[in-house]
Amino acid sequence: MTLHVYGQPCQSRLFLGTARYPSPASLGQAVEEAKPGFITVSLRREAIGMGRKAKSPHAYQGSHGFQGLLKAMGVPVLPNTAGCLSVSEAMTTAHMGRELFQTPLVKLEVIRDETTLQPDLPGLMEAARLLCAEGFHVLPYCTTDLSVADKLMQAGCTILMPGASPIGAGQGIHDPAAMKRLRACFPETILVADAGLRVPSQAAALMEWGYDAILVNTAVARAENPPLMARAFAKAVKAGRMAFKAGPTLEREEAVPSTPMAGRAFTDDTQPWRESAHAPA
């Protein structure tokens, strides 16, 4: 089943960040290898020749080279508000993204501070409310907090992007139970696991738990061989999704003999083998 992001079909369940690559060629090759569903672009950090406090789309006129590169990749762009420290800054950046890339989509980040890069949750909820009311299609970078998820959904978000661990730190999945709980509590919501992944097995695990997609940047961009790592993540996301659809067996506390009893070669009805909720076809 194809993933749709606010009605837009995705060619892949891997979304790729475009920052911190060693060169434009390396970024281009990584995108070529991963064939991601989206590439996400930080207006504040990526636009060439831009001051950090740029407030007008005209400040991005010097970024034609980078925009040309993005266009050449032929992958839908998801503008993001990475690095925005306030609601107003995130709103301004979202408007610039809409104008530059002609899309209502925005990956919304409102961060508390530049050291931890943790989401400022009250700010995030407020910005999400305002942007959704303006017709933006908002993908909020959030935590696994269930009440925050409720509020973001009430604001009009149909997709959530919970962080697995701090952005750029490569610490993997800090709290697997919380990631699984969010999945279980919001079975109909599109969940894109975001931030902190280091190796493809972590992306595969999240997909096995039923996450709909993965966003990764640093693990690919700062790998020794970014295109190869991009390809590895793409394969892991596919494998994880396939395993989820196949319906993994339950983990058990005790051993269960795998040798069948005489006359019962193909079934063992005394054992529940899977969760009752099955993966979609």
Coil, helix or strand at residue 15: strand
Angle formed by the axes of helices 226-246 and 200-208, nearest 10°: 20
Nearest distance from residue 170's CB to ligand DXP, in Å?
7
Nearer to ligand DXP, 43 or 82 (CB): 82
Question: Is 27 within 8 Å of 41 (Cβ atoms)?
Answer: no
Residue tagged active-site, from 35, 55, 71, 107: 107
Nearest distance from residue 5's CB to ligand DXP, in Å?
14
Nearest to 230 by CA among 74, 43, 10, 18: 18
Q: Give yes or no: 107 in active site.
A: yes
Residues in a beta bridge with 42: 80
Residues in a beta bridge with 47: none
- Positions in the binding site for ligand DXP (CB under 6 A): 17, 19, 40, 42, 80, 82, 107, 141, 167-168, 194-197, 215-219
Nearest distance from residue 250's CB to ligand DXP, in Å?
31
CA 263 – CA 240 distance, rounded (Å) = 34
Q: Which residues contact 67 (CB under 8 A, 6 or more apart)?
A: 100
Strand residues in 217-263 grouped as ranges (E):
none
Nearest distance from residue 167's CB to ligand DXP, in Å?
4
Nearer to ligand DXP, 22 or 272 (CB): 22
Nearer to ligand DXP, 35 or 245 (CB): 35
| Helix count and strand count (H, E) for the chain | 10, 10
Nearer to ligand DXP, 84 or 125 (CB): 84
What are the catalytic residues? 107
